A and B are shown apart, each in its own frame.
Chain A
């Protein structure tokens, strides 16, 4: 469906504009007075809603990922909140067009999850990847900015634990954990684990599966 909308965006827009023009024309045909209310309403809504769309667009986009993760997952069914799901295969032409993986690369295994910190902090566990490239990107739904990264570039490839907290949490960070503060109580998590070759896939997948979340209060 998305694909069709993307592919036929211009003709679809043209059709919609023609329909609007016809509606306005019908009103004008009944007399110019008939079009004043319509015009004023359209102008007011246009002026108010245009900035609203722009302001909320990042949120709309990230929430699209949220819905996709929580309702559909990566083809293996819905992914519950605070769960990191590792896709067992890389992107390929055979991946369904509705899938989150469809526009990805075949050099990485993707990990996806939706963080909900309302019930308390989560602990992120990462294994030692022995120099293998990986990254976890934490994206805020409010502005679609990546407020934190875990992985080779930012935290190295050693094993570790990270405490993920929401804006209102107060408490002691347990020993040995590094702190990641999320600007809001929810966040999109996208992970990528490098896959060298077809033969390397099982090793990469085993590592990807060991990147996990657990609630702090059940440590």
Chain B
């Protein structure tokens, strides 16, 4: 018995098991992330995985969903889009100012509500001087002459446009758009989330 433990300690089996298990964990994460990526639909940089949360998904799909969007609603209950990049694919950061111009009637159509939230890259809201982390369908947003709405995403207040200012943190950040009880237009994939444009 003592000989066995000595062999176990010196043969490299224990080290092999530790290395194998850790690599298995990393491989599993890699596979789940890749599958999640394949299931993701991207429009103007906004990502969504409409398949998640449903019964009947295969092993890989449900693992990928549990990894990407744990315990998420089914898409017909709530549609979620997230983005960490602007419309041209550049990472969103507080060093820039951004504009999200929503054409008339192009907030996500729904039978409950929509909301747009700013968080850090992990998903936590970040404190800011005016205590505003989101806009929603009850927000008093100023419309342009053509009926479109400009949402200003920047660290400091846009002069004269404070009402449409959604403060962002100094570093990298993430945007999350939700539509509860999304309409057919969203469920059928016809709705396009407006792009976030970097201001020069």
Interface contact B21-A45, CB-CB below 8 Å: yes
Smallest CB–CB gap between A132 and chain B, Å? 9
B199 at the interface (CB under 8 A from A): no
Interchain CB contact under 8 A, A91 and B125:
yes
Please, how many angstroms separate the alpha-carbon atoms of A35 and B11 in the complex?
8
**Min distance, Cβ B73 to any Cβ of chain A, angstroms:** 6
- Which chain B residue shows the least CB distance to A133? B112
Stretch binding the partner chain, chosen from A55-63, A169-177, A209-217: A55-63
Question: What is the minimal beta-carbon distance from A2 to any residue of chain B, in angstroms?
Answer: 9
> Can you name the residue of chain B whose Cβ is closest to the Cβ of A108?
B180
Contact A103 B119 (CB under 8 A): yes
- Are B71 and A54 closer than 8 Å at their CB atoms? no
Q: In whole angstroms, how far apart are the Cα atoms of A64 and B70 in the complex?
A: 10
Indicate which residue in B22, B62, B77 contacts A58 across the interface (CB closer than 8 Å): B62
A43 to B19, CA, bound (A): 9
> Which one of A81-89, A114-122, A146-154, A160-168 contacts B?
A146-154
Are B123 and A49 interface neighbours, CB within 8 A? Answer: no
Q: Write the residues of chain B forming the contact surface with A, with a CB cutoff of 8 angstroms.
A: 11-13, 15-17, 19-28, 31-32, 53-57, 59-60, 62-63, 65-67, 70-71, 73-74, 76-77, 112-113, 115, 117, 119, 121-128, 131, 133-134, 136, 138, 176, 178, 180-181
What residues on A are CB-neighbors of B115 within 8 Å? Answer: 105-107
Asked, given contacts A102-B124, A137-B73, A196-B138, whether A42 binds B180 with beta carbons under 8 Å apart, the answer is: no
Whether the pair B71, A153 counts as a contact (CB closer than 8 A) is no
B125 touches A54 (CB 8 A): no
Q: A21 to B154: give the CA distance in the assembly, Å.
A: 44
The one of A23, A53, A94, A145 in contact with B53, judged by C-beta atoms closer than 8 angstroms, is A145
List, in ascending order, chain B residues with CB within 8 A of A152's CB.
112, 181
Chain A, residue nearest B134 (CB): A106
Q: Does A179 contact B (CB under 8 A)?
A: no
A151 and B21 alpha carbons, distance in the complex (Å): 43
**Contact A7 B20, beta carbon cutoff 8 Å:** no
Given contacts A38-B15, A41-B16, A145-B55, contact A57 B124 (CB under 8 A): no
If A13-B26, A194-B112 touch, whether A153 touches B77 (CB-CB below 8 Å) is: yes
Write out the residue numbers on chain A whose beta carbons fall within 8 Å of the beta carbon of B73: 135, 137, 146
- CB closest residue in chain B, given A62: B71
Nearest CB in chain A: distance from B181 CB, A: 6
Contact across chains for B77 and A54 when beta carbons are under 8 A apart: no
Per-residue interface assignment for chain A, residues 176 to 219, with 1 indicating a CB less than 8 Å from any chain B CB and 0 otherwise: 00000000000010101010110000000000000000000000
- With the chains together, A92 CA to B122 CA distance in Å? 15
* A97, B119: Cα distance in complex, Å: 12
Check B74 against A92 for contact (C-beta < 8 Å).
Answer: no
**In the complex, A94 Cα to B123 Cα: how many Å?**
13
Task: Decide if B20 touches A43 in the complex (CB within 8 Å).
Answer: yes
The 7 lowest CB-CB distance pairs between A and B, nearest first, are A41-B16, A45-B20, A38-B12, A49-B24, A53-B28, A103-B123, A42-B20
For residue A27, CB closer than 8 A to chain B, the reply is yes
Of residues 22 through 77 on chain A, the ones whose CB sits less than 8 Å from some CB of chain B are: 23-24, 27, 34-35, 37-46, 48-50, 52-55, 57-58, 60-62, 64-65
B127 in complex: contacting residue of A37, A64, A93, A140, CB < 8 Å: A93
Q: B11 touches which one: A3, A37, A46, A60 (CB < 8 A)?
A: A37
